[in-house]
Amino acid sequence: MAIALADLLEEKNVALQLRARKQANALREIIQLLAANGKIDHPETFLDAVLAREQANPSAVEHSVAFPHARTDLVDRIVLGIGRSRAGVPFGKGQRARLIFVIGVPQRLINDYLVCVGTLARLGD
């Protein structure tokens, strides 16, 4: 199944003015938005999965953009939440992300996961 980034984008899942100043809080803010819009049923558990993945392999930040994500059965389809911070949020190794794409992908969709993350990573090119 081919996926298109446009199919994942929903205006209601975009936070243009993140209030958080720390990584975990920024992720929580975006994930709570996804939960409020019916995309994630267990936001705290999903946050834990994203933070565990970040702990094991921090998201690279290029051009002030970060792509934290998790492969998890907490979602039944690919979900995407986006947050923007004017001040930037500390991410990775001393870098600041101003645009954060939070991605959740079901375990079974490994090919779609690779396509999605690859597509988002190329946005900065």
The CA-based dihedral angle spanning residues 109, 51, 82, 121, taken in that order and rounded to the nearest 10 degrees: -60
State both tokens at 30: 């975006």
pTM over 0.85: yes
Mean confidence (pLDDT) of the chain? 88
Is 29 domain-assigned? yes
Question: What are the pLDDT digits (tens) for 93-108?
Answer: 778 999 999 999 998 8
Number of domains in the chain: 1
Check pLDDT > 70 for residue 3: no
Is 33 domain-assigned? yes
What sign has the CA pseudo-torsion 39, 43, 45, 50?
Answer: positive
Mean pLDDT calculated for residue range 45-51: 97
Is 2 domain-assigned? no
Check pLDDT > 90 for residue 14: yes
Is 1 domain-assigned? no
| 102: CATH | 3.40.930.10
Q: Pairing state of beta strands 79-91 and 69-71?
A: unpaired
Is 3 domain-assigned? no
Is 4 domain-assigned? no
The whole domain housing 44 covers 9-124
Question: What are the pLDDT digits (tens) for 62-119?
Answer: 889 899 999 899 999 999 999 999 999 998 777 899 999 999 999 888 888 787 777 7
Is 22 domain-assigned? yes
